[in-house]
Amino acid sequence: MLENFLFSLNAVMPLFLIIAGGFLMRKTRFVSAEFVAGGNKLVFYVALPLTLFRNVYTSDVSDLLDLPFIAFVMISSLLVFFAIWVVSAFFIKDKNILGAFVQGAFRGNFAFLGMPLLFNLAGDAGIARAAIIITFVLPLYNIYSVVVLAANSNSGHRVGPKTILFTIIKNPFIIGILIALIFVLIGIELPQMINRTTVYAANMATPMALLCLGAGINFQGFDKKFKFAVISGAIKVIAVPVVLVTAAYLLGFRDYDLAAILVLGGIPSAIVGYAMVVQMGGDTYIAGTVVVISTLMSAVTLTMFVYVMRVMGLL
């Protein structure tokens, strides 16, 4: 039991310690807002796409065409999204609160936190699952967020299908994966110099992503709406992973697949969701606070989930 607990701590806590370091650096002004903005750009447009490129480029393509896993993560994400929205609508009558609440409860910070956590749990096989999730689920998250925020925005803001499609197509993660697939299918071999360059660039993805994630967290204090952020965060890091992992286990998924499904469900709410709420005219207090609350909670819940699943022999 001690060995399993130490494994859980070693897999989860180092990532959150770096997040905490980024938060403290920003609060003490060791790093500036401009540094965080530039770091996020570097991670989003260069480091993480190169990480995905390298993983797909060095993987067996058949690992990326796991149809049962693809079907499960796509269908389950759809069902979770609508279930949260339908149930929440019975209790939350303020549309602005409802839109931010629902997004915070289903949309996780997979690119910045999920990928490194999945690597800690499952190594390269975990990153292969991450590539599947980024290709098939993250675009859906963008669509779901736009739909729920537009439907519940008092500002009348609307986004057409062309805008959504263009956003998905120009996503650097998707582009990195597609270029790697083309290289593999055609048989293009990278020169040693280029290969090493991509390795070095990709290696900065995890620490920079986690530092910027922590530095971007901003707690806006306590408000009468604080309870909504707490409930939304609890749904994201407790209810969603329990439901997804249970369903996946009953359907026969094991090992690396279960690890990926746990991470997909159990990671905290995405900071990018806050920016989308601002753009769509939703409740920014809920959007910002749920990121803080879910991140704090997930440091504990993810550790415990990993521990329990290790004890049960599922990881």
Structural domain spans, the chain: 2-216+224-311
State the pLDDT at residue 155: 59
Q: What is the pLDDT of residues 188-217, one digit of tens each?
A: 888 888 888 888 888 888 888 889 888 888
Determine the Cα–Cα distance for residues 111 and 102; give it in Å rounded to an integer: 20
Mean pLDDT, residues 302-313: 94
Residue whose tokens read 């409802």: 98
Mean pLDDT, residues 141-151: 86
Reported as a pLDDT band with limits 50, 70 and 90, residue 156 is low
Q: What is the pLDDT of residues 98-143, one digit of tens each?
A: 999 999 999 998 988 998 999 899 887 888 888 889 888 988 888 8
Say what the pTM is: 0.87
Percent of the chain with pLDDT over 90: 41
Q: Are residues 108 and 264 in contact, defined by beta-carbon separation less than 8 angstroms?
A: yes
Determine the Cα–Cα distance for residues 34 and 216; give it in Å rounded to an integer: 11
State the pLDDT at residue 163: 66
Q: What is the pLDDT of residues 82-97, one digit of tens each?
A: 999 999 999 998 888 9
Q: How many Cβ atoms from other residues are within 10 Å of residue 271's Cβ?
A: 21
State the pLDDT at residue 71: 96
Q: Are residues 314 and 11 in contact, defined by beta-carbon separation less than 8 angstroms?
A: no
State the pLDDT at residue 263: 96
Q: What is the pLDDT of residues 30-76, one digit of tens each?
A: 989 899 889 888 888 888 888 888 878 877 766 677 899 999 999 99
pLDDT at 161 over 80: no
Mean pLDDT, residues 290-303: 94
pLDDT at 236 over 80: yes
State the pLDDT at residue 216: 84
pLDDT at 157 over 60: no
Mean pLDDT, residues 153-163: 63
Amino acid letter at 303? T
State the pLDDT at residue 90: 93
State the pLDDT at residue 279: 75
Mean pLDDT, residues 251-260: 93
In this predicted structure, which of 22-36, 77-91, 141-155 has the lowest mean pLDDT?
Answer: 141-155
In the CATH hierarchy, which fold is given to the domain comprising 2-216+224-311? Answer: Na+/H+ antiporter like fold (1.20.1530)
pLDDT at 78 over 80: yes
Q: Are residues 245 and 310 in contact, defined by beta-carbon separation less than 8 angstroms?
A: no
Of 279 and 237, the one with more pLDDT? 237
pLDDT at 281 over 80: no
How high is the mean pLDDT of the chain? 88
Ranges of H-type helices in the chain = 2-27, 33-42, 48-57, 67-91, 95-106, 115-136, 138-151, 161-169, 172-186, 192-203, 205-215, 226-234, 240-250, 255-266, 272-280, 284-311
Token pair of 179 as six digits = 């270029």
pLDDT at 160 over 70: no
